[in-house]
């Protein structure tokens, strides 16, 4: 009898473990602080002087009807048009992490990556006016094409231009539009953006 009681005492914490874990997973709050930085905490957003962010749901109702679901994130762009569309989708969702997922980060240190992602967050707050592809084929006639197999093409009379996406964003303060140039590189069968230089 004493052995049975001891065994039950030892097994009791194991029975409570999955329930405790499930409760802990529900207690994470997603917030944005006063500087626009994401904050993930087990405390309420108000206690952190932050604004709660509702998780993105496919069927969130808006004043004009229901919002269309976001397309799945592009993990490997096989062409410049696919890469361009993935950037447009990231801006539509105002998601700097989605844009960062399209970038090749090899050779960057941790602090440089964090700083670049923060600058992407600032860029994503500005309305996207347009994306122009240079040095590659975005569906229009051009002398250089880019695909996941590599960047190829017949050289023109002018010096060849490395493929890049040029993003035009509106200055929230009312100034002139701003441009950010993201070089495009082919690696491991995909096209990737490099952070702006």
Per-residue pLDDT at 23 exceeds 50: no
Of residues 159 and 189, the one with the higher pLDDT is 189
pLDDT at residue number 118? 87
Set out the domains of the chain in order of their start, with CATH numbers: 73-137+161-196 (3.10.450.50)
Helix (H, G, I), strand (E, B) or coil at 172: coil
Of 64, 66, 85, 63, nearest in space to 74 by CA: 85
Rounded-to-integer distance, Cα 80 and Cα 149, Å:
12
State pLDDT tens for residues 40-76. Answer: 788 888 888 887 776 544 333 444 445 566 677 777 8
**How far, in Å, CA of 163 to CA of 102, rounded?**
15
pTM score above 0.85: no
Whether the CB-CB separation of 128 and 171 falls below 8 Å is answered with no
Q: How far is CA 170 from the centre of its chain?
A: 20
pLDDT value at residue 14: 63
Report pLDDT digits (tens) over 131-174. 999 986 544 433 334 444 444 444 445 556 689 999 999 877 77
Element (H, E) at 146: strand 144-147
């Amino acid at each position: 009898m004493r052995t049975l009681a001891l065994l039950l005492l030892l097994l009791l914490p194991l029975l409570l473990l999955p329930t405790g874990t499930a409760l802990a997973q529900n207690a994470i709050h997603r917030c944005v602080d006063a500087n626009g930085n994401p904050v993930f905490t087990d405390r309420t957003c108000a206690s952190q002087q932050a604004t709660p962010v509702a998780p993105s749901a496919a069927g969130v109702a808006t004043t004009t009807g229901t919002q269309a679901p976001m397309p799945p994130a592009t993990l490997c762009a096989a062409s410049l048009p696919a890469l361009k569309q993935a950037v447009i989708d990231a801006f539509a969702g105002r998601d700097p992490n989605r844009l960062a997922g399209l970038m090749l980060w090899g050779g960057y240190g941790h602090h440089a990556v964090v700083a670049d992602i923060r600058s992407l967050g600032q860029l994503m707050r500005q309305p996207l006016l347009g994306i122009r592809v240079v040095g590659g084929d975005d569906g229009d006639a051009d002398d250089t094409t880019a695909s996941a197999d590599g960047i190829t093409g017949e050289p023109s009379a002018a010096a060849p231009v490395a493929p890049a996406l040029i993003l035009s964003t509106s200055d929230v303060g009312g100034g002139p539009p701003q441009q950010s140039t993201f070089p495009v590189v082919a690696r491991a069968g995909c096209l990737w953006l490099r952070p702006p230089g």
